[in-house]
Structure formats: structure tokens, C-alpha cells
Structure 1
Amino acid sequence: MSIVHPRSIGYTADSWRAELAATVRLAAPLALAGLLQMAIGAMDVMFIARLGPLPLAGASLAVAFQGTLLWSLCGLTGSVAALIAEAVGRKGPAIREVRRATRMAFWLSVLVGLLGMVLCFNGEWIMRMTGQPPEVAMPASTYLDIIAWAFVPQLIANVLRNFVSALGRPFFATMIALAVLPVNFIGNYILIFGAFGAPEMGLEGAAWASVITGIATMAAFVLAIQHNRRLRRYHIFGNWWRPEWEGFKAIVRIGTPVAITIIAEAGLFGSAAFLMGNIGALELAAHTLALNIAALAFQIPFGIGQAAVIRVGYHYGSRNREAIGRAGWAAISCSLAFVAVTGGGMLFTPELLLSAWIDPADPANHALVALAVSYLAIAAAFQLSDALQAVAMGALRGLQDTRVPMAYAILGYWACGFTLALYLAFETPLAGLGVWIGLATGLSLVAIALMQRWIRREKLGLIRH
């Protein structure tokens, strides 16, 4: 894909086919990069699991806390993509505007990254406040003390990922995620088990491997940008000390509601796990399996949603109302086509999907499989809602509309979804199924509200040009 202006052939779609093709070219590498990031996380779990249940439990708590915080801060700093897309759509290459916005995203990454580090350094206090047993809280706090050092490089890498994607090089994200996979594997193997003469560090080694992977990812993006003629001309690493307060404020204004939205959604699913744990260990295990499958499937709509931010942002900057609508609807159509496949798999071949984690034919797993299959039936239904809310949210972010969607997310996920899940789980015989019905309801309400806002974007004045 060539870099550039939406008025050029790659970006001004005179037909639905051209817009769909442009969306797929942008979304496919972003979605694949998301899947590779999940593979890195799964690799960490496989290594840590060999250390025993207590280190695994501690690391799981630490990653749940740090991961949610990192994801939300990535939403904050990654909002620079909407500003870059608008600038390119409005002025072609827009070298100065893109450089200034990216520079301020770097500043913000360092500031909020330091805040994230402080929170992680207080991990033991946080674990105690949430009532975690000492034998789990101690390894969790140890893991957080180390992985905190990955915050700033991971956030800067996220800004660079959005930079290259908004400028037509999304495949860099895929290639870099693929390249750091062996870095993560080797780092875990050497540092956890003390291979090749290195000291055996156990859980601490796993945390340091994650830090190394984060630094390697950032360095790989820097090298890729510096060796690409089209991207290098933006000189995003020059004059890094110069403030551009208007750009800084714009990223904070757009990105803060995004970060809060992510916390609301991640918090909903995290709370669902706690509800399941109160119902029973078997229900929690089945929930974890089903949610892993749903999370993998969600990476595709999530990647399409990221593409929608950029595609809609281009046309928003070029003041092309018809193209804005085409870009949003093309992304929505792509996501619906995909979830028809994943939803069908969850509904009609759930045991085949579960076989990636457990043996469904083993009699010892019969009860676990039965529960997981029932949860996947509901997951198949909310695939539609999950895809719609992800892509509609992305399209609205392309219009730099984030505050009202944030309110929709808080109300839909918590006032409705969580409340219903809590009631159905403990006040009716539905138990675990009630939790999943609550999740599906929350996602569906948010999806309906966001789609209504996208459809009425003209009447609501979201296209201000």
C-alpha cells in the first residue's frame, strides 16, 4: 500500500469494491499483528506454568492488572492515529502536522508510562487491598516490580505502530510482531531456566523476558521507520524536545475517553471471572476456555476497527462526506462477514475449537466441555454485537468522537451488563450461563447505541466540516 492522500487512487474509493479492498489491506496486517501479540502472551503462560501453580497464579494476577492498564494507555496514546489520518486527508503528506502529533504522542507515552510504573511498583499494596492471599500476592508484586520497566517502550512502540499504519505501512506491525516472537521465546527459556550459563531466575526471568521483548519491539519499529524512505521523511525523532501543546491537548482530549472505555470493557470481563470463581472452579475453568476462543476471534474485528479509525479519519480530513460513510460501512460489512464464520464455528463445531486446549473426548473433561460448549453458544450470539461495537467505535474515533461512546460503554457494560450478570448468576438457576447472558446483553446494548450514533452522525453534527 502506498502512503498517502485519500484523493489518490489508493484512498479515494469511487466504488464500494475499492473501499472494501482498501479496508481489507489495512485491517488484515493489523488483525494478524494482534493475533501474534496474543501468541506472545500465550507463550509466556506456557513457560510460567512449568514453574508451578503459585507462580502462575501470581503472574496471572500481575498480567491482568498490568495488561488492563497498558491496554487503556495504548488507547490513550494510540489516538494519535486519528490526528495523523485527518492531517493526511486534509493536506496530503502533511509532514509537519504528522511529525508534531507523533512527537506529542511520544511525550504522552513517557508521562503516562511513568505513572503506570509507579502503580506497578505499588503492586503488593494493590494485591493486599483486593484481598489476595499472601502466597499469590508476593509473586504477583515481584513480577509487577520488573515488568513495570516495559511500560514506556511498549507505549512508544504502540505510537509507532499507529504511525506506520496511518501512513499506509500496517504490514510493519505484523512483521515486527512475528520477528519478536523468537526473542520472547529465547528470553523466557534462558532467563527462567538458566540456559546457556545464565542464572536461573524463575518468575523474575519471565518478567525480564517481557521487558526485553518490549524494548526489542520499540527498537524494531525505529529501525523499520529509519530504513523506509517514505516514513523517514517525516523526521519524527527530530526536535523531540519541542512542545506542541495544541497537539498534546488534542491527543489527551480524544484519547482519555478511549482509555476509560477500554478500562470499562476490560473491567467487565475481568469481573466476570471473579463472578465465575464465586460460582465454582469448574465454571471458572470453562469460562476461561470459552473466553480465550472468543478473544482470539475478536482480534479480527478489533483490527478492522483500527482500520476504520484510519480510513474514516482520512476522509474526515479531506471533507468527503460520502467517502466517510463508505469507509465506515465497508469496515462494518467486513466485520459482519468474518463473525458469520467465527460465530458459526462456535455454534456448530465448539468441541473442535476446544480441542486446541483440552481433549474433549477424555471422560474426565466431560463436565468441563459441557459447560464450555454452553458458554460458546452464547459467545456465538454476541460475536455480532462485539464486532459491531468494535468497528462502530473505531469509525466514530475516526471522526474524533469519543466522549459520548465512552458514556455508552460505561452505562451499557456496567449499569446493564454487569448488573444483569450478577442477578442472573446468583438469584436464578442460570449460574454461569447468567454471567454470559449479562456479558452478551451489555455488548449488545453498547453496539446498538454506537450504531445508532454512527447512522445519525450527520444530524448529530459529528462531521463538522
Structure 2
Amino acid sequence: MNQTNSIKEKLRQFMIILLPILVTQVGLFSMNFFDIMMSGKYSTGDVAGVSIGSSIWVPVYTGLSGILLAITPIVSQLIGAKKRDSVPYSVMQGIYLAVAMAIIIMIVGSFILNPLLNGMDLEGKVHQVAHDFLVALSFGMIPLFVYNVLRSFIDSLGETRVSMAITLISLPVNVLLNYLLIYGKFGFPELGGVGSGYASAITYWIITFIAIFVIKQFRPFSSYHIFRTFFKVSFKEWRAILKIGVPIGFAIFFETSIFAAVALLMSNYSTVTIASHQIAINFASLLYMLPMSISMALTIVVGFEAGAKRLKDAREYARLGIGIAVILSLFCAMSIFFFREYVASVYTDDTEVMRMTAHFLLFALFFQLSDAIAAPIQGALRGYKDVNVTFIMSLISYWVIGLPTGYVFAKYTDMGPFGYWLGLIAGLAVGAIALGSRLYFVQNIKYRKGYPS
């Protein structure tokens, strides 16, 4: 990554970093996409079970892995400040922390999974598939968390094309394993939706081993000698990572868990409603990879410029990223409107599920603009290491405003399950406005006197 001196140079460097991140995010998300889509082709009960399992797993994973995203601004700022020798230590401590977090969540999950599912009014088939799907996923939890650290290190160097290549290699493997284990082809057991969980777990191991090999063997990664020294565990460094990472993780958790909460509330409706809602959310989440990727790219470039105390350049990158996100969101909204029936047909052959999914997708139109503003701003703020206020804003906008509003519409109007989507739209809009205000404060007031130590 290099210093830039004009908007044209910034746009070029930003796109070089962004496009591979986008491909990588879409690839990683596609694992969940194919889990749900291929389970949907197997049976409605299986797709409902996988959807419920995913709704529990995704906020837990994204929240905890969000903590590990702290490695990106930490390493970016170390490189910007020309402190290369400190990078291996931070990365290795991040790996230790990732393993510890994965073990803790597996232990906790073994105690709370059954009570959580028992507390939901699920059909027997849906309950069993959801349980077994999550158990299957747990076998890949440790490598997945470690991979998040390794990927954060790779991306922080601006080498996002490497992450993209790893994902593109692993995605066909995941789809093949889904095919073999869901449908029981070529002598493999026919596991239905549960098979997609084992397929994902195996894929997580594959991408982690590939990342380790690349970091050890290829420059510029090998020049940092990440695995040459296995440092002692440093709880002091863990605290430094957690100080930045926990607010990031909570902010992501508050955002993703509201979708999980709505999915759990949907369990009071029919299996068709559960499946339709989750399919629509799954597709909307696929489109969210655009602003999310821009967010991750902004963390890298803003962190690099902030570490070098080039605050004017950091501001220009933030404006550039937000502008790109807004333009792309308008295109996505139009695509949803015109192709919603086709999108629904990709996921399911059930006519009733298809019809309701298309109706849900109309509401997803309104997600696009809010996401296009909120996500890039979060990325820019992480680049500044300004994370504490963001997670408070996320809590208020999603859980204090979004979910209660949706509950009121769903329970006290004739909108039914669609009322929850109105609540989600309200929460996302408030979050976008609040984050915009915070970025203005950080860039124009907090940092006016120079970048703090």
C-alpha cells in the first residue's frame, strides 16, 4: 500500500483493495447462500431448519469474529507508522485469542443450544435439523476464527487479492461437499440440510491451511516471519486487541442479532413464512456484501493514512468510499425490484414460498440506502480506532428502536410478519444517521488538533 496524492490515485488504490475484498466476502457468504439454497431444493423442512440454525450462528460468529477484525486497524497503523517489527507479535496474539474464543463458544454452546431450541415453537423436523446443523458447524469453528485473524493480517497489507484467491479456491469445494452430503451422492451419506453444516466445517479447515501456507511461503507475508516465533500468551496484548475489537464485535453483533431475533420471532408463524423470510434475508445479506466490503477497505486505507497522520487523505478516502456505496446501492435496489420473482425461484420450487419471498424482497429495497451509508462509515471509524460510540449507537438504533417498532407493527397491525421488516428498516435508517454524525465529529472536531497517541 502506497501514499497517494490525488483523488484519481486514491480511487485506483481503493478499487485495487476493494474488488478482491468484495469477491472474498461474496465467496464466504456464498457458503451460507448455498447451504440454504441447496437445502431448500432438498425440502422445505430442511431449509427452515438450516435457516433457524444460521440465524443463531451468524450473529454469534459475526460478533465474535468482529472482535478479531481489530487486527486490521492495528496492523495497518503499525505499517503506516513504520513499526513492522511489532506486527508478528500482534498477529500471533490474535491467533491465540481466536482459539480461546472458539473453545469458549463451543463449551457455552453445548449447554445453551438445546434450551434455546426447546424454547422455540418449532416443528419436530425443523428443530432436529437446526440442532444437528449447528453441531456440524462447530467442528470448523476453531479454524474459522483463526482464518479471520490471518485474513485480517493479509488484508491489512493491502494484499486483498490473496484473500480473494483463497476463497475462490475453496468455494467450489464447499459446493461439491454440499452436493455430496446433502443429497447423498457417490456413496456419501444423505444428511439433508445437516450435510451443509459438515461441508462448511471441512471448508473452514481447508481455507485456514491454505492461508497458513501462503503466509509462510510467499512475500510480502513471509518477510514478517509470523510463525517463526511462538510468543508466550500475553493477556496485556489480548486486552489491547479486545479494547478495539470488543466494541467492533458488539456493534456487528447488535446489527446481525436483530435479524436473528426477528427470525426467532418468526418461529411463531408457519414453516412457509420462516422459509420465505430467511430466503429474503439471505439474499438481502448477499447484497450487503457490497457496503460491507467497502467498509473493510476503508478500515485499511483510513487506518494506513491515520497511522501516518495524514488526516486530509483519510477524510478523502472516507468520502470516496461512501459515494461508491450509495451509487451501488441504487443499482441493487433496482435489481431487487425487477428480479424479485426470479430471485425467489432460485432458492425454492415451492410456489407458496416463492410468492411470499418475492413480497418480503420488496421491503429489502429500503435496506440498501441505509446500509450504503452506515457500513462504510463504520469502516472509516474503525480505521481511526474510534469504536466505542459506534457500538452504543448500534444498540440504540437496532434494539431500542428497530426491534420494538417491528414488534408493534407485527402484533398490533394487519401487517403480520412483514411488520418486523418495517422495524428493521427504521433501525437501519436511524443507525445510518447516527453514524454519519459520529464520523463528522471525529473528522472535524476530535482530530482537528492532530491524531491522538
Q: TM-score, normalised by structure 2?
A: 0.90
Candidates 215, 222, 228, aligned match of 1:232? 222
Aligned AA (1:464): P
Candidates 202, 205, 214, aligned match of 1:212? 202
Cα displacement string for residues 280-332 of structure 1 (whole angstroms, at most 9, x for unaligned residues): 66654543343233212111110000001111100110011101101111111
- Cα distance in 2, alignment partners of residues 198 and 286 from structure 1: 29
- Return the offset for 1:113: 0.6
- Return the offset for 1:391: 0.7
2:109 aligns with 120
1:297/1:342 contact within 8 Å kept: yes
2:410 aligns with 425
Tell me the SS of whatever aligns to 2:158: coil
1:283/1:368 contact within 8 Å kept: no
Candidates 159, 163, 185, aligned match of 1:169? 159
2:89/2:231 contact within 8 Å kept: no
User: Mean Cα displacement is larger for which, 168-177 or 343-352?
Assistant: 343-352
Candidates 221, 225, 231, aligned match of 1:241? 231
Candidates 23, 26, 34, aligned match of 1:43? 34
Cα displacement string for residues 192-230 of structure 1 (whole angstroms, at most 9, x for unaligned residues): 555555566666654332221110010111122223121
- Cα distance in 2, alignment partners of residues 306 and 151 from structure 1: 22
- Return the offset for 1:190: 4.1
Aligned AA (1:390): A
1:124/1:140 contact within 8 Å kept: no
- Cα distance in 2, alignment partners of residues 198 and 424 from structure 1: 46
2:40/2:347 contact within 8 Å kept: no
- Cα distance in 2, alignment partners of residues 281 and 143 from structure 1: 17
1:109 aligns with 2:98: yes
2:321 aligns with 331
- Residues 4-403 of structure 1: matches in 2 within 5 Å? 4=1, 11-49=2-40, 52-91=43-82, 94-122=83-111, 123-130=113-120, 132=122, 135-192=125-182, 195-197=185-187, 205-278=195-268, 283-357=273-347, 369=355, 372-403=357-388
User: Mean Cα displacement is larger for which, 35-44 or 120-129?
Assistant: 120-129
1:76/1:259 contact within 8 Å kept: yes
- Return the offset for 1:464: 1.9
Cα displacement string for residues 402-432 of structure 1 (whole angstroms, at most 9, x for unaligned residues): 1111000010001111111111222123334
Assess, with a 3 A threshold, how the Cα gap between structure 1 residues 278 and 227 changes in structure 2: closer, same or farther: same
User: Mean Cα displacement is larger for which, 344-353 or 266-275?
Assistant: 344-353
Tell me the SS of whatever aligns to 2:231: coil
**Structure 2, unpaired ranges of 5+:** none
User: Mean Cα displacement is larger for which, 111-120 or 411-420?
Assistant: 111-120
Cα displacement string for residues 325-381 of structure 1 (whole angstroms, at most 9, x for unaligned residues): 01111111111121121122234554454454468xx9x55x954x55554444223
Report percent identity of matched pairs.
26
**Structure 1, unpaired ranges of 5+:** 5-10
Q: TM-score, normalised by structure 1?
A: 0.88
- Return the offset for 1:72: 1.3
Aligned AA (1:456): F
Candidates 373, 390, 415, aligned match of 1:405? 390
- Cα distance in 1, alignment partners of residues 198 and 28 from structure 2: 17
Tell me the SS of whatever aligns to 1:12: coil
- Cα distance in 1, alignment partners of residues 77 and 354 from structure 2: 49
1:8 aligns with none
